[in-house]
Structure 1
Amino acid sequence: MDEVKVVIAHSERATLRVGDVFLKVDSDPARLDREVEVMALVPVPAPRVLWHKPSVLAISAVPGTVLGRIGTPSTSSPAAWAAAGAVVRELHDAPAPPWPGGGGQGIDELAAKLDEECERLVRDGLLPANLVARNRRVAAAALRPWTPVFTHGDLHITHVFADGDEITGIIDWSEGGQGDALRDLATLTLGHPEHLGDVVAGYGGDVDLDVVRAWWSLRSLLVVRWLAEHGFDPFSPRGEADVLRARM
């Protein structure tokens, strides 16, 4: 009999694996509804929806292993990282859904959210004031007009699977929709700056690396407190806190 493995669990959602089936349980059924809609539109490898009921989604396992993890060096080849960039480009070039994806706030709204989070990080003593201030200045470069494209919205490195040099699938599409292409590239390479060149080579075209790096600061500032409050460790080596320190 297959064991039940907890992949991830916190107060908002949980993912379980039973054999080759993943069960996603979400406190917000609409989020799972949206994920099913997005996966029906994506032009890149993604899990197959097996069944879907309110608050629960069953999907097939994706072959291969994750491209890497935050906190440890990636063992995936430069070619695999480049292949990930090419797959992301294919997604960004596809017709986008009519709804905003993760981080779909307007520039002013995102800036206000960032300022509020920076204030809380300092007030709660999670990060030093000078570290927060420096990264807030770096993050400003990401707060510019962009042309919306079809984005994953939460393209964390553990959401991308590879087999050798081939990308076999991308998972967790609940944040998919219209968004900033460079946010996806930044999220994918967060904590792995040594592979940014590989990803950009596969992605092709002009990529503003300063904006990608600005998104590293912006995303890290926004998630440090949430991660700490939900049982994750943003202070692990190569984690979000280290990403912020690198900007100093």
Structure 2
Amino acid sequence: MDEVEVVVAHSERATLRVGDVFLKVDADQARIDAEVEAISLAPVPTPQILWCKPPVLAIAALPGTTLGRLGGPATGSPAAWAAAGAAIRKLHDAPLPPRRGRAGRSSGALAAELDDECDALVATGILPADLVARNRQVAEAALRPWTPAFTHGDLQIAHVFVDGDEVTGIIDWSEAGQGDALYDLATFTLGHEEHLDDVLAGYGTGVDLEVIHAWWSLRSLLAVRWLSEHGFDPFAPGCEVDVLRARM
């Protein structure tokens, strides 16, 4: 019997690995339903669903390895990153799924949430006021009208698997749905700006770099306090706070 590996765990959800099976335990059945639906609709390689008995979803492991993780070294050739960009473009060009995803929050609601979070970051002393103010200014470019696309919603590089220069699968679809395509691209390249050109070589045209930079700031500002409260370290080298400092 293989040992049980805790892949990630916090108060909202946990993922365990036993051999070649991943067990995702989620307190919100809507996220499980969204993941099952997105996997069935996505036109890119996805993991096989073995069974689903809420609050648990069992999926098969994917071949290959991830391109890295936030705060750690990135791996893969430029061609592998370009292949990931091409897969992301294929997803974004697919017919829209029925529900709105994490990347589909309205600009008004997002601006209000961002302003509240910026105030909290400064009031609690988690981040200095000048760092927050500068990144709030940069983030403004993301608060604009956008054309809905089929988005993943949490497209961290740790969620994309490759074998050589081929994408073998994309995992963790619980935040998928209609949303802003540039949110996905920004999430995928967060903390690994050096690979953005490779990704865009595969993705193609129609990308506003100012908006990518804005999403880096916006996503990081919204994440810092949550990560700190759930046992993660956004101050670790290469992580969210370093992303914010790079905009100064």
TM-score (norm 1): 0.99
Question: Secondary structure in 1 aligned to 2:22?
Answer: strand
Q: Which residue of 1 aligns with 2:96?
A: 96
Aligned-pair RMSD on alpha carbons?
0.7
Deviations for 1:164-210, whole angstroms, at most 9, x for unmatched residues?
11111000000110000000000000000000000011001121111
Q: Which residue of 2 aligns with 1:162?
A: 162
Match runs of 1:55-70 below 5 Å: 55-70=55-70
Q: Which residue of 2 aligns with 1:25?
A: 25
Conserved 8 A contact 2:103-2:178: no
Which letter does structure 2 place at the counterpart of 1:132?
Answer: V
Q: Kindly state the Cα deviation for residue 12 of structure 1 after the two structures are TM-superposed.
A: 0.4
Q: Which residue of 2 aligns with 1:186?
A: 186
Identity of aligned residues (%): 73
Q: Which residue of 1 aligns with 2:135?
A: 135
**Alpha-carbon distance between aligned partners in 2 of 1:59 and 1:184, rounded to the nearest angstrom:** 23
Question: Secondary structure in 1 aligned to 2:85?
Answer: helix
Which letter does structure 1 place at the counterpart of 2:216?
Answer: W
**Alpha-carbon distance between aligned partners in 1 of 2:103 and 2:178, rounded to the nearest angstrom:** 9
Q: Which residue of 2 aligns with 1:245?
A: 245
1:42 aligns with 2:31: no
Which letter does structure 2 place at the counterpart of 1:134?
Answer: R
Q: Kindly state the Cα deviation for residue 108 of structure 1 after the two structures are TM-superposed.
A: 0.6
Q: Which runs of 5+ in 1 are unaligned?
A: none
Q: Kindly state the Cα deviation for residue 73 of structure 1 after the two structures are TM-superposed.
A: 2.4
Question: Secondary structure in 1 aligned to 2:75?
Answer: coil
Deviations for 1:29-56, whole angstroms, at most 9, x for unmatched residues?
2211111111110000001110001200
Which letter does structure 2 place at the counterpart of 1:202?
Answer: G
Which letter does structure 2 place at the counterpart of 1:214?
Answer: A
Q: Which residue of 1 aligns with 2:118?
A: 118
Question: Secondary structure in 1 aligned to 2:187?
Answer: helix
**Alpha-carbon distance between aligned partners in 2 of 1:184 and 1:11, rounded to the nearest angstrom:** 24
Conserved 8 A contact 2:103-2:184: no
Q: Which residue of 2 aligns with 1:216?
A: 216
Q: Which residue of 2 aligns with 1:204?
A: 204
Q: Which residue of 1 aligns with 2:146?
A: 146
Of residues 62-71 and 88-97 in structure 1, the stretch that sits farther from structure 2 once superposed is: 62-71
Q: Which residue of 2 aligns with 1:106?
A: 106
Q: Which residue of 1 aligns with 2:77?
A: 77
**Alpha-carbon distance between aligned partners in 2 of 1:154 and 1:67, rounded to the nearest angstrom:** 15
**Alpha-carbon distance between aligned partners in 2 of 1:17 and 1:232, rounded to the nearest angstrom:** 20
**Alpha-carbon distance between aligned partners in 1 of 2:50 and 2:122, rounded to the nearest angstrom:** 45
Shift >3 Å, 4+ stretches: none
**Alpha-carbon distance between aligned partners in 2 of 1:72 and 1:52, rounded to the nearest angstrom:** 32
Q: Which runs of 5+ in 2 are unaligned?
A: none
